Amino acid sequence: MKPKHYLLAALCTIILGLSLRKVSLVPLWIGDALYAVMIYFGARVIFYGIATSTAAIIALCWCYAVECLQLVQQPWLSHIRQTLPGRLILGQGFLWSDLVAYAAGIVFVYLIDQFILKKKG
């Protein structure tokens, strides 16, 4: 796929993730998994041409770093988290379960990219 296709996929993932926040039947971890999917697509845009496995590792490291950053409670960082974009991008509180959801999202999108999208591109 071309970078513009990954960018479109990232935008669609954002729309899906925000839409699902309004559906009470959807477990919260789905949103975390979709966040990881969006980060993966972003890595594919920024680092176009890298291997899918490298993109997966970059995305997973990014997600884990953002989650661990939630353990930092500096006033300026807490102020950013009080805004809607800050909450959506940085999250609010560390949860071990989020790490599992990120890994699930990365594995899911990696398999799709590696075995389905590569064949069509």
Closest by Cα among 41, 53, 43 to 16 = 41
- Reduce the DSSP state of residue 1 to 3 states and report it: coil
pLDDT, averaged per 10 consecutive residues of the chain (121 residues), comes to 92 94 90 96 95 96 95 91 89 92 97 78 53
Q: Which residues of 35-59 are buried (b: 16+ CB within 10 A; e: fewer)?
A: bbbbbbbbbbbeeeeeebeebbebb
- Please report the sign of the dihedral spanned by the C-alpha atoms of residue 119, residue 59, residue 86, residue 94: positive
Residue 121 confidence (pLDDT)? 53
Residue 120 confidence (pLDDT)? 60
**pLDDT tens, residue by residue, 46-63:** 999 999 999 999 999 999
Give pTM, 2 decimals: 0.89
Q: 77: how many CB neighbours lie within 10 A of its CB?
A: 13
